[in-house]
Structure 1
């Protein structure tokens, strides 16, 4: 049972920490996300409610494990997108050829002003790196490792 508890904790804490870091880099560090940065956030956003459901249903171990696995899958998908994005940043392959900004609504003039005021962030340029690894690269590494650990813990729980 301990491995299921660890898997649940990892399935919740990983997306919370990585989304927290992404939003901190955006709002505190001034690093505006590109379209592929947003793509990496969406699976983490899905993983959080799935992991919370796993906690709510922890009295029913099999269902809790299912939701933990789904959260782990979402974390892994974010990691794969992060690896793809990092590859685009490093020039290993081509990614998006356009950048996009999504206005939040209002009149035509309001939407045009929103688009014009939005910072242009390229997907093929890493705005920050540490030891040569970009934020997308770190997301790929950390999310991939967490997803693998969740899978291993769930398999261990299943064997027990």
Structure 2
């Protein structure tokens, strides 16, 4: 196999990994916003923190894609490693959050949030308090936080796979 085709193969693999991370991270963050906007599920402060990795991952995956396309493989690898680290940390945060929901350990003392304040006609705030230690939704036994841990771990592995590709 020639060096040119090795570079093309490597570029293709790294671009594919970047595209997968981009698509999955974007889809996940859009789903989170859809649950919030259309499903009425207000995020708690930990939920909002868990979104940071997705915002970073979407942008960084674009950067890694174009770095691989221009055959700047060292830089593409670095960006993919940073994506993997971000999603591994986020998976840990998701496990912590899910554990607090299952009452395996206490959540943060200051974990309450919700929608913007809504004043009732009697002048009393009528806004739900969203707690980090109460899961409002489950699917296949996992809450939003649990699914975040699963998706984040998977995205970390995909990014790490891309970072380890060699010509």
TM-score normalized with structure 2 length: 0.79
Matched, 1:99 2:97: no
Report the aligned-residue RMSD. Answer: 2.4
Mark the structure with the bigger radius of gyration.
Answer: 2
Structure 2: runs of 5 or more not aligned: 1-9, 120-124
Matched, 1:139 2:151: no
Q: Deviations over 1:83-134 (max 9, x none)?
A: 1111111111111123344998xxxxxx896xx4543101111000012111
Q: Which residue of 2 aligns with 1:46?
A: 56
Which one is further off, 24-33 or 78-87? 78-87
Structure 1: runs of 5 or more not aligned: 105-110
Distance 2:115 2:154 in 1: 35
Q: Which residue of 2 aligns with 1:89?
A: 101
Q: Is the 8 A contact 1:54 1:64 kept in 2?
A: yes
Q: Is the 8 A contact 1:82 1:137 kept in 2?
A: yes
TM-score normalized with structure 1 length: 0.82
> How many residues of Structure 1 are paired with residues of Structure 2 in the alignment?
151
Q: How far off is 1:6 after superposition?
A: 2.6
Distance 2:66 2:36 in 1: 31
Q: Which residue of 2 aligns with 1:62?
A: 74
Q: How far off is 1:77 after superposition?
A: 2.1
Tell me the SS of whatever aligns to 2:131: coil
